[in-house]
Amino acid sequence: MRQVFRYSRRMRRSIFALASPYAHRLVCASVAVLFAVGFVAIFPVSSAADQVPLPPDAPVVLHAGDSFVHVGFTQTLAPKFKASGVRYVVRAQHSLYIPTISRALQLPDLMRQYKPSLVILNIGGNEMQMPKPSDHAPAVRRLSAVVSAGGASCVWVTPPPPAHGETGIIGEILRESTPCRVYDSRPIAPSLDREKHDKVHPTRPAGAKWAEAFWVWLEQERESGSSWKLKPRPELVPSSEAPPATSAPAPTTSAPGASR
């Protein structure tokens, strides 16, 4: 009986010895496949178009703002700007206010560094419930002066008010932001779904919808043949150059949002 046990133990060792190289190779191959799949899932392979570098003299669009920038808004705009040959620079932080954004993001330094053709401002979301929004009117004027320095075009994208509304900061932005343009997000706001945790920030799909509408407006308001300069603010156009009031185009459903 002992001989049979010793024999079977020797057989098992022989079988394991023969199988171990194949088992080792199989394990290594499996690990390599799993690693490759995981790597592709985490780091998607970019297309040839994504790998083409922009020329050094490509126009720059600087996008600055608060947490509303990253609700699917900038994620939707980024590939559009890149496809248009634009260097798209984004700077945003949570919990910013109109009086604090310039210093927090060092906007004067960014303006000198990048010399943008266009500056997009997503700011004001944290001021939608201010008891007295006119207190921030001077800050709107100062910020508009900073981002229009050096002849850059600028546009304020107002925050889309939630269902419970806002107390007047959008009106202050519309009145005090000269010479910047304003994309008024109020017309599209009711159609934007909100995050359940605060009922204020748009969901990612809603943020993408908001960005698509802004993009349509942006392309309509670009000066022809320019490197992403916008048409002048309507009230800044000399009366001799301004078109008759009756010739203004009717609002379209493709780009909801009032314009200044």
Residue type present at position 73: F
**Whole-angstrom distance, CA of residue 154 vs CA of residue 182:** 8
Do residues 166 and 240 touch, judged by C-beta distance below 8 A? no
> 158: closest CA among 54, 259, 246?
259
Number of residues that make up the chain: 260
pLDDT, tens digit (0-9, with 9 covering 90-100), for 50-75: 445 788 889 999 999 999 999 999 99
Do residues 73 and 64 touch, judged by C-beta distance below 8 A? no
Residues with pLDDT less than 70, the chain = 1-52, 236-260
Q: Taking the domain 58-232+254-259, which CATH number applies?
A: 3.40.50.1110
pLDDT value of residue 101: 98
Do residues 149 and 104 touch, judged by C-beta distance below 8 A? no
Domain edges within the chain: 58-232+254-259
pLDDT value of residue 225: 78
In angstroms, how far is CA 45 from the centroid of its own chain? 22
pLDDT, tens digit (0-9, with 9 covering 90-100), for 162-207: 999 999 999 999 999 999 999 999 999 999 999 999 999 999 999 9
pTM for the predicted model, two decimal places: 0.74
pLDDT value of residue 143: 98
> 140: closest CA among 176, 105, 181, 96?
176
Rounded to 10 deg, the angle between the 137-147 and 107-114 helix axes is 20
pLDDT value of residue 241: 45
Do residues 228 and 61 touch, judged by C-beta distance below 8 A? yes
pLDDT value of residue 251: 38
> 156: closest CA among 123, 133, 117?
123
CB neighbour class for 172 (10 Å; exposed up to 12, middle 13-18, buried from 19): buried
**Residue 122, phi then psi, degrees to nearest 5:** -110, 90
pLDDT value of residue 44: 35
Do residues 87 and 55 touch, judged by C-beta distance below 8 A? no
pLDDT value of residue 57: 86
Rounded to 10 deg, the angle between the 137-147 and 169-176 helix axes is 50
How crowded is residue 43: how many other Cβ atoms within 10 Å of its Cβ?
8
Output the six-digit token pair for 72: 């699917």
> 204: closest CA among 71, 108, 94?
71
